[in-house]
A and B are shown apart, each in its own frame.
Chain A
């Protein structure tokens, strides 16, 4: 009751001029707001709508309301859980590996040497290559059993030829992703390293701290928030991985990620209803993950100084 009164009181205090200004401001923002809502919410609502229908493009005359049939299929066909598992495994492995390698290269680059600029640019290149192109390059010039560099190296050392996509599909995908995302991690960590206070490092060295001790007790704690952000952003991007799977392994050997599964349902199964149901489930799972992840981000930003 009392709050309502104070609100009314406040509104009454506004001069007509200010009121008009507020409305102008609101109406100016309105088109963008409507556009935003239309652009983001309509497709999502449509997807929810489709997920409630039996609709296979191959049966154009048989489209009917199906209730939750599609969702029952999603959970009983036995493809969802292995796919979540594959997504988590690939994402985790690629994020951890590229983070470690990224840290290593960032430390190497964090010093003055001749040609530093060129070295840095070259190191970033893998991240600038389109994912599909990167996968094709790896498929033919690295993993190929006849002309691939990796198998050529094996033959030089007298090791057996490895059938990467057939026998080690999971590792194949992880290697390509690690190659692509190492530069991204490196960039963030390099920024972290370069923002380190030189005085603190100097003080440490004056106090007789060796390279490893300095790294462990000063550099690493300083890098913590950068590592957290790199992990978070890397995870968000890698969760949607599709290209190396479509190009190299075709979802065999535990590499069928959610993105690829969704593609298969929609473009090979041509099942609009079921694909939409998978999409809805994926969005819900992502929202849960993102909520947890975003909280972590805010913690990083807000409590960053305190740690």
Chain B
């Protein structure tokens, strides 16, 4: 036991050596100010806005200095995971996804924020209920959403109109597949769907398809369901959809590639993150004003949008808990949304976090094309049971177990082989079943 602790400590030293270097720099500034908190965040536009507005927080809270570490998503995940795993304490506020919150919350690696958020001025009930549910474990909330998203179907109105097709507000996958075949030409794909192997790439939309087809990764007893009939049907449908009307080289396509394809009018439709709508409607987008947005297609369920949020949380290893909580509340408050709107423009307000955001007149105007549908989908998805059958975890397009990154990644590689025709869907998923079951056994 002692030996294992020593190795643990050695590991902490080696793995966090970069963080230690950061902490040295931190120490010198701490001498000047009373309290310095370090915020680790991902390099998305909304988070960079938060960094640019930190001066307002420091002004309102004299004695607290905020330092930002803005990182690429993959780097952020690796660094924060290492810091949490080793209890390094390099960060006072971390930005984490909806996937990590329930796991780290249950492990007591995060500070329980329930009591601090009860403050009536903060109005915690204003946070979108499905998002709040996804960030809570046994009634205790461990993180607050900075922004959230669901998935929606985006389509080019001009292309569909030219064929005389109208898109229903809640289409089924069969309707979408038919439309995709009709609007497809040799130069334009009917639909763009992610195919890049990875748990967060291909399997984000594909898991929602599996769920609406009645399948799931696991049943209530953690038996893997990867080669069960609905899962196979869903993947076969996805493959056929890509083969008959999808983009040509699916393994190369994920969020950014599909976004470009839609902007260049090389694809007529796209089911992906709702946050894409704001990019398609941006000033420099050639398709701005030409896009339509409806609910993600369904088959057997009522809704099949996913639920993702980037959240602020306070690691249990922090030494500046009060200041950190203060910052988390400030950055997710109604006042912050007003501040962003007034200083940086209303289209930059973080979406999908607070219901009240959607009743700000200026925001409604700036995001008129997609605000309504985003709120509608985000308040109707159910992270506790997104599919037909109950599941033992909270979350929609992922399984909230530590092994899922790995399982999702391996199965995605097998599915990519099936998409390319090197394997049959059944053979790929039979192999995937074994991988998923090995991980499921650890949770029985």
Is B406 interfacial (CB-CB < 8 Å)? yes
Option from B8, B14, B199, B416 in Cβ contact (under 8 Å) with A166: B416
Chain B CB within 10 A, most for which of A58, A139, A253, A256: A58
Asked if A50 lies at the interface with its beta carbon under 8 angstroms from chain B, I say yes
The answer on a CB contact under 8 Å between A63 and B8 is yes
User: Of residues A59, A251, A252, which shows the largest number of chain B Cβ atoms within 10 Å of its Cβ?
Assistant: A252
Write out the residue numbers on chain A whose beta carbons fall within 8 Å of the beta carbon of B419: 166
Contact of B252 among A58, A65, A166, A271 (CB under 8 A): A166
Q: Is B132 in the interface zone, CB < 8 Å from A? A: no
Distance in Å: Cβ of A279 to nearest Cβ of chain B? 14
A80 to chain B, nearest CB (A): 14
Bound-complex Cα distance A167 to B416 (A): 10
Considering the complex, give the chain B residue whose CB is closest to the CB of A49: B7
Chain B residues with CB under 8 Å of A272's CB are 11
Residues of B within 8 A of A249 (CB): 251
CB <8 Å contact, B107 and A55: no
Asked whether A165 and B249 contact (CB < 8 A) given A53-B4, A250-B198, the answer is: yes
Interface residue tally on B, bucketed by range: 35 or more
Contact flags B220-259 to A (C-beta < 8 A → 1, else 0): 0000000000000000000000000001111110000000
The distance in angstroms between the C-alpha atoms of A88 and B420, with both chains bound, is 23
In the complex, whether A175 has a CB less than 8 A from a CB of chain B is: no
* Extra inter-chain contacts (13) besides given A144-B252, A250-B198, A256-B413, CB under 8 Å: A58-B403, A59-B402, A60-B85, A60-B109, A163-B249, A164-B252, A252-B197, A252-B416, A252-B417, A252-B420, A268-B405, A268-B406, A269-B405
Number of A residues near B (Cβ < 8 Å) is: 40
Known: A145-B247, A250-B196. A58 touches B81 (CB 8 A): yes
Q: Which residues from A are CB-within-8-Å of B7?
A: 49-50, 53, 63
Complex Cα distance A165/B86, Å? 38
The residue that B261 contacts in the complex, of A146, A166, A169, with Cβ under 8 A, is A146
Q: Could you write out 30 A-B pairs with CB less than 8 Å apart?
A: A46-B10, A46-B14, A49-B10, A53-B7, A56-B402, A58-B81, A58-B85, A58-B403, A59-B402, A60-B86, A60-B107, A63-B4, A64-B4, A144-B252, A145-B248, A145-B252, A146-B261, A146-B266, A163-B248, A163-B250, A164-B252, A165-B252, A166-B249, A166-B251, A167-B421, A251-B413, A267-B78, A268-B199, A268-B405, A268-B406
Bound form: Cα–Cα A167–B241 in Å:
17
Determine if B11 and A250 form an interchain contact, defined as CB atoms under 8 angstroms apart. no
Given known pairs A50-B11, A53-B7, the reply for A58 and B248 (CB within 8 Å) is no
A256 to B4: give the CA distance in the assembly, Å. Answer: 33
Q: Which residues of B contact A229 (CB under 8 A)?
A: none
In this assembly, does A201 line the interface, its C-beta being within 8 Å of a C-beta of chain B?
A: no
Q: Are A61 and B107 in contact (CB under 8 A)?
A: yes
Q: How far is the CA of A166 from the CA of B243 in the complex (A)?
A: 12
Bound complex: CA A305 to CA B196 (Å): 52
How would you classify the secondary structure of chain B's contact residues: helix, strand, loop or mixed? helix
CB-based nearest B residue for A64: B4
Which A residue sits closest to B409, measured CB to CB? A268
- Residues in B with CB closer than 8 Å to A69 are none
Q: Is B84 an interface residue (CB 8 A)?
A: yes
Does any Cβ of B come within 8 Å of A280's Cβ?
no
Query: Which of these, B10, B74, B409, B422, contacts A253 with CB under 8 Å?
Result: B422
| B63 contacts chain A at the CB level, 8 A cutoff | no
Give the residue name and chain of the A residue nearest to B438 (CB). A77
A218 CB to nearest chain B CB (Å): 47
Asked if B3 contacts A65 (CB within 8 A), the reply is yes
Give A163's nearest chain B residue, CB to CB.
B249
What A residues does B74 contact at CB under 8 A? Answer: 267
Which of B11, B81, B409 has the most chain A CB atoms inside 10 A of its CB? Answer: B11
CA distance A146 to B257 in the complex (A): 11
Q: Is A248 in the interface zone, CB < 8 Å from B?
A: yes
Kindly state whether residue B376 has any CB partner on chain A within 8 Å.
no
Complex-state Cα separation, A169 to B84, whole angstroms: 37
CA distance A63 to B264 in the complex (A): 50
Shortest distance between the CB of B153 and any CB in chain A (Å): 21
A56's closest neighbor in chain B, by CB? B402
B405 to chain A, nearest CB (A): 5
Interface residue ranges of A250-280 to B (CB < 8 Å) = 250-253, 256, 264, 267-272
A63 to B11, CA, bound (A): 11
* Chain A residues, CB < 8 A from B198: 250
Check A165–B251 contact: CB distance below 8 A.
yes
Is A57 in contact with chain B by the CB < 8 A criterion? Answer: yes
Q: Which residue of A56, A166, A267 has the most chain B CB atoms within 10 A of its CB atom?
A: A166
A268: which B residues are within 8 A, CB to CB? Answer: 199, 405-406, 409
Chain A residues, CB < 8 A from B84: 60
Residues of B within 8 A of A146 (CB): 261, 264, 266
Given A166-B250, A248-B252, answer yes or no on A57-B413 (Cβ-Cβ < 8 Å): no
- CB-CB under 8 A from A161, the residues of chain B are 248
Across-interface contacts of B14 in A (CB, < 8 A): 46
In the complex with contacts A146-B261, A252-B416, A267-B78, A139-B402 CB distance below 8 A: no
By the criterion CB–CB under 8 Å, are A270 and B249 in contact?
no
In the complex, A167→B248 CA distance in Å? 10
196-231 of chain A: CB within 8 A of chain B: none
State in angstroms the CA–CA spacing of A164 and B78 once bound together.
Answer: 31
Q: Could you say which residues of chain B place their CB within 8 Å of the CB of A145?
A: 247-249, 252
The verdict on B385 contacting chain A, using a C-beta distance below 8 Å, is no
- The answer for the CA separation of A144 and B421 in the assembled complex, in Å, is 19
Interface residues of B in 77-118 (CB under 8 A from A): 78, 81-82, 84-87, 103, 107, 109
On chain B, the residues within 8 Å of A59 by CB distance are 402
Complex Cα spacing A164 to B3, Å: 50
* Residue picked from B7, B81, B84, B417, most chain A C-beta under 10 Å: B7
Residue in A60, A164, A250, A267 whose CB lies within 8 Å of B249: A164
In the complex, B195 has a CB within 8 A of chain A: yes
**A contact residues around B3 at 8 Å (CB):** 65
Report A-chain residues with C-beta under 8 Å of the C-beta of B199: 268
Say how far B31's CB is from chain A's closest CB, in angstroms. 31
Q: CB within 8 A of A252: which of B87, B413, B421?
A: B413
Q: Is A242 an interface residue (CB 8 A)?
A: no
* A264 to chain B: closest residue by CB: B409
Interface residues of B in 1-22 (CB under 8 A from A): 3-4, 7-8, 10-11, 14
Q: Scan A58-75; emit 1 where CB is below 8 A from any B CB, else 0.
A: 111101110000000000
